[in-house]
Amino acid sequence: MKSSSILKNLSLTLSSNIFSLLISTLVILVIPKVIGIEEYGYLQLYIFYTSYVGFLHFGWNDGIYLRYGGELYGDLNKRLFNSQFYLLVIVQFVIATVVYMVAGHLHFGNDKLFVINMTVISLIFTNLRYMFLFILQGTNRIKDYSMVTILDKLIYIVVIIMFLLIGKKNYQFLIFADLIGRALSLYYSMYLCKDIVSKTPLIKKNDFKETLMNINVGIKLMFSNIASMLIIGIVRLGIERRWSIETFGKISLTLSISNLMLIFINAIGIIMFPLLRRIEESKLSEIYTILRSLLMIVLFSGLLLFYPLRSLLLVWLGNYKESIMYMTLIFPICIYEGKMSLLINTYLKTLRKEKSMLFFNVITLLMSVVMSFITIKILNNLTLTVLLILGLLMFRAIITELYLAKILKITVCKSIVSEVAMTVSFVFSGWFFSGTISFLLFFISYLIYWLVFKNDVKNSLLILKGYFYQAK
């Protein structure tokens, strides 16, 4: 792939993700200001539930992404994808109907039942849209992929503003806004792939074999993603059950703010997979080392933004002072989740190591269950429970990267130890000190880290520049 094409795709994904960042920031900072803490808790519960609906396609879409990622859109068998889409429509409506009927017979409160019913609707919109997003992303139609992402967020924020202007400030209308954004962006993604959707459905025996092949390939990645999300999800669910919907909302706000930086990381990750699939395997180790050096210095530089951000949030969201306090314990997750998203998972998918991804996520999930039980049920300690989130994600990133480093035949031990030291420095200085002292303590650690790895960063930039020069 030419360097101009890479830069174009990167600029497109960055633009769409910057837009998403602006919308997410607006929603994260403004919504808690205009609705009550309990209402915000139910909104976060809806967001929490909808983050898991993608798993109810059983890896179908993941299999399509893994099997056809790197191919050209024009080379795809449109009739085959047409039958896959309509089969997925049928399956998703059946699942949604079953969940809706079961939920109606269980003894939930009105608010929780409403959240579950809206999640059922979101299930259909989300999973059908995923198929087209994976097709667009896997075939390198990054511009179209970005436009779907932008449209979803744009409609969401416009509808939210309309509801707020007419005085509709409860969480139900905010959920409606999300569903409208998902529905219209699904329609637009279908328009972009109209040569797949517009054909008359003609489902044959071989189409069911194709479905099973996609699920067989993708289900390992799906279970891996489920385990990955449940690592934090188990902890969050424990917080909601043990404490209150208000506490759940406050901790969720902290996680939302901490994950904002990942929007930029995901922007790069979107183009990485189809690109790496086309690169010679012998070059993967060198590219990994280059990207790792540059990524980590960027991520640790991003931690410096925490200090002015914390000061602004204390002024703006006074009712969420407890949330902002816990940000010190959670904010460094962007380091480890960023590395997992951009580098480790992308490389493991490229090398088709879905089973290994699943293995490490399951190990960490089991740790999450055991440790959550200890911190929540036995110790009844919210602070340790929040800190557990960071500890689990650190553990998962470290053991998975050590495995990947063994495959790539590179050494990362020195870097991992340095990153753990930086994380401990950040948490310690932020939790036990405040204001200028807290910032100075971490800044000293940051300068030491920069001095240790500055040559690696410079060399990586030179090598990367050479790659771009050769690609022209």
Within-domain flag for 19: yes
Does 306 share its domain with 367?
A: yes
Element (H, E) at 452: helix 435-471
Measured from the Cβ of residue 143, the count of other Cβ atoms closer than 10 Å reads 15
Does 125 share its domain with 274?
A: no
Given 147, 182, 203, the domain boundary residue is 203
Q: What pLDDT score was predicted for residue 192?
A: 92
Given 181, 203, 225, the domain boundary residue is 203
Within-domain flag for 225: no
Within-domain flag for 119: yes
Rounded CA-CA distance 51/420 in Å is 29
Kindly list the distances between the CA atom of residue 291 and the CA atoms of 15, 195, 294, 350, in Å, as whole numbers in the listed order: 21, 37, 5, 15
Does 356 share its domain with 308?
A: yes
Does 179 share its domain with 287?
A: no
- Please answer whether residues 396 and 364 qualify as being in contact, where contact means their C-beta atoms are separated by less than 8 angstroms: yes
Does 15 share its domain with 135?
A: yes
Rounded CA-CA distance 396/340 in Å is 9
Q: What pLDDT score was predicted for residue 395?
A: 95
Q: What pLDDT score was predicted for residue 398?
A: 94
- Please answer whether residues 220 and 354 qualify as being in contact, where contact means their C-beta atoms are separated by less than 8 angstroms: yes
Given 203, 226, 252, the domain boundary residue is 203
Helices (H), 69-109: 78-104
Does 277 share its domain with 180?
A: no
Q: Which of 122, 127, 120 is nearest to 61 (CA)?
A: 127
Does 241 share its domain with 118?
A: no
Does 63 share its domain with 190?
A: yes
Q: What pLDDT score was predicted for residue 442?
A: 92
Does 71 share its domain with 124?
A: yes
Within-domain flag for 219: no
Does 73 share its domain with 194?
A: yes
Does 155 share its domain with 297?
A: no
Rounded CA-CA distance 238/341 in Å is 25
- At which residue do the structure tokens 């991992």 appear? 416
Within-domain flag for 217: no
- At which residue do the structure tokens 């990586």 appear? 460
Q: What pLDDT score was predicted for residue 471?
A: 47
Which tokens belong to 124? Answer: 């259909």
Q: What pLDDT score was predicted for residue 1?
A: 46
Q: What pLDDT score was predicted for residue 38?
A: 81
Within-domain flag for 381: yes
Rounded CA-CA distance 361/194 in Å is 37
Which tokens belong to 152? Answer: 């979803």
Range of the domain at 115: 1-203
Domain count, the chain: 2
Which tokens belong to 219? Answer: 């289900």
- At which residue do the structure tokens 């205009």 appear? 34
Within-domain flag for 88: yes
Which tokens belong to 430? Answer: 């932020």
Rounded CA-CA distance 300/131 in Å is 34
Kindly list the distances between the CA atom of residue 82 and the CA atoms of 190, 199, 205, 243, 329, in Å, as whole numbers in the listed order: 11, 7, 14, 47, 47
Within-domain flag for 224: no
Does 194 share its domain with 245?
A: no
Mean pLDDT by 10 residues, the chain (472 residues): 53 64 70 79 85 82 81 84 90 91 80 90 92 86 84 88 84 91 93 86 82 85 80 83 78 74 62 61 79 85 84 76 80 86 82 85 92 90 89 93 92 91 92 86 92 85 64 48
Measured from the Cβ of residue 165, the count of other Cβ atoms closer than 10 Å reads 8
**Which letter does DSSP use for residue 286 in this model?**
H
